[in-house]
Amino acid sequence: MELRFIVTAGPTREHIDPVRFISNPSTGRMGFAVAAAAARRGHAVTLVAGPVSLSTPRGVRRIDVVSARDMLAAVEEELSAARSGRADVFFVSTAAVADWRPRRMAASKLKKASMSGILELVRNPDILKTVGGCRKIGFAAETGDAVAEARRKCREKGLDLVVANDVTAQGAGFGARTNRVVFVTPDGAARPLPLLSKAAIGARIVKFCEALSRGDVDSQWLGGIG
């Protein structure tokens, strides 16, 4: 059973001027691990990557983007092409998309003296919430009660799975080679996994998608994924 995966990874950059931007510390490792795991299982994978310095996993088609709006446009284009095929389509949103952008990007470098008080921010689109016509897997990057927030995001964004991570935990979150995550499903069930490599977590997310496509996911199945 070949599935179609569209995976976002890394940060977005929201430019203030040509040399300054708003961003975050995402390295893309988590998303690249999901894409690599899906390709290893023989699925068709497109990786939409923000600015990162990782090489493209074997068998993965990669589209590089900079801003949240670029990322949304690339995901929508890929999704509309994917929906015309016969395979089940999964959108896995691991990217740390900037929620805000400057209202205007200056065309040339701003002078230091002219910068004070000029930064007016507007909301970026929520890519995961906006797109449809596919199965949706989201992440929740939290610093407090990750499971409660994941349950809320699952409901509000209509997700099939939320992978919650406490980004302040040791060996987890931004930049680490490992992660500590909890799988949260739409029925509110929460399945904590031990500290694992991002590659191992990517493989479990792909396994979940395969089981969902077969109609196999229940609490017993989820209990066995650790």
What percent of the chain is helix, strand and coil (3-state, nearest 5)? 30, 25, 40
For 81, other C-beta atoms within 10 Å of its C-beta total 13
Identify residues 11-70 at the interface with ligand PMT (CB under 6 A).
26-30, 68
Catalytic, 179? Answer no
Which range in 76-84, 87-95, 111-119, 212-220 contacts ligand PMT by CB under 6 A? 87-95
Which range in 53-61, 167-175, 183-191, 207-215 contacts ligand PMT by CB under 6 A? 167-175
Give the DSSP H/E element, type plus range, for residue 15: strand 14-17
Residue selected from 6, 36, 167, 184 as contacting ligand PMT according to rule CB under 6 A: 167
Contact 60, 36 (CB under 8 A): yes
Catalytic residue among 24, 124, 165, 179: 24
For the CB of residue 7, give the shortest distance to ligand PMT in the complex, in Å.
10
Residue selected from 97, 205, 209, 222 as contacting ligand PMT according to rule CB under 6 A: 97
Residue selected from 7, 22, 60, 96 as contacting ligand PMT according to rule CB under 6 A: 96
Q: Give every CB contact of residue 114 below 8 A, 6+ residues apart in sequence.
A: none
User: What is the 3 state secondary structure string of 121-184?
Assistant: EEECCCHHHHCCCCEEEEEEEECCCHHHHHHHHHHHHCCCEEEEEECCCCCCCCCCCEECEEEE
Residue selected from 139, 151, 183, 204 as contacting ligand PMT according to rule CB under 6 A: 139
Which range in 79-87, 88-96, 111-119, 204-212 contacts ligand PMT by CB under 6 A? 88-96
Quick one: which of 30, 33, 133, 146 has its CA closest to 91?
A: 133
Residue ranges in contact with ligand PMT by CB under 6 A:
10, 26-30, 68, 93-97, 99, 124, 126-128, 138-141, 153, 165, 167, 173-175
Catalytic residues: 24
